[in-house]
Amino acid sequence: MKSLILLAFGFLAFFVSPAQVCNTYYFMKAKSMVEQSHFDDKGKLAMKTEFSVGDVKTVDNGTEAAVKQKVTDKKGKVISEGTANIRCDGDNLYIDMKLSMPAGPVSPNGNIEASSKKAYLPYPRTMKPGDKLENAQFSMSVDQGSIMQDVEIFVRNRKAEAEESITTPAGTWKCIKITYDMELITRAAGIRIPIRIKGAEWYAPGFGVVKTESFNKNGKLTGTSEISSIKSI
């Protein structure tokens, strides 16, 4: 994680509270809005996601933010809405896996209602290239109006690969590139449909994930997402 304390403060950095360390992440800034733009395999805008951060409160061993999610198509029509919680304990940022559905054709078009058991993807603040990261899995239900689907998400083989600089319309960050395998298993009307993709994301320590890419099993790019704006509300 990028140091939050200038070197001149020396050993005082050891006494920084989790709340002070966590409040640099964009998901941990109360009353802010983060816009994420999603592009198809040809680089054309397909949809956008708005994350509205509400209350940020102190919980055991850290802080927790309530985040509302709204997905719209390229014309601004609402596709889905939902809520999630983001946690931080000073050593890790924990992203609710309800926010981990990839952009592109495999994203569900409907209202998302997650199971009661929460699951989080951890992002260590001391992450460095070569580190192997924790895997995770999650299950949820997707209401698409006339169709109910059960979806399981498995994220495996997460690894910090390299340090890279990433620029989006929202800024430029020094990031850690993370690669992973994702499997989505959808069940509807007794039919099981597995989808396997490979992914890459760029995580700016102390800030959050600023870009993601998804690929099919043949390595072809299927979608890209990036942070396009951050503002106070």
Residue 1: inside a domain, yes or no? no
8 Å CB contact between 108 and 99? no
**Going by C-beta distance under 8 Å and a sequence separation of 6 or more, which residues neighbour residue 161?**
129, 176, 177, 178, 179, 200
Residue 52: inside a domain, yes or no? yes
For residue 211, give the nearest of 220, 221, 201 by alpha carbon. 201
Residue 161: inside a domain, yes or no? yes
For residue 209, give the nearest of 20, 22, 67, 27 by alpha carbon. 27
pLDDT tens digit string along 68-111? 999 999 999 998 888 889 999 989 999 998 876 544 434 444 44
Cα distances (angstroms) measured from residue 99 to each of 16, 119, 172: 29, 11, 23
**CATH number, domain containing residue 209:** 2.40.360.20
Residue 59: inside a domain, yes or no? yes
**pLDDT (0 to 100) of residue 146:** 67
Number of domains in the chain: 1
Task: Tell me the average pLDDT across 14-33.
Answer: 76
157 pLDDT higher than 70: yes
Per the structure, the complete domain to which residue 179 belongs is given by: 7-232
Residue 2: inside a domain, yes or no? no
20 pLDDT higher than 70: no
Residue 219: inside a domain, yes or no? yes
Residue 130: inside a domain, yes or no? yes
**pLDDT (0 to 100) of residue 18:** 53
Residue position matching structure tokens 């200038």: 6
29 pLDDT higher than 90: yes
pTM, entire model: 0.82
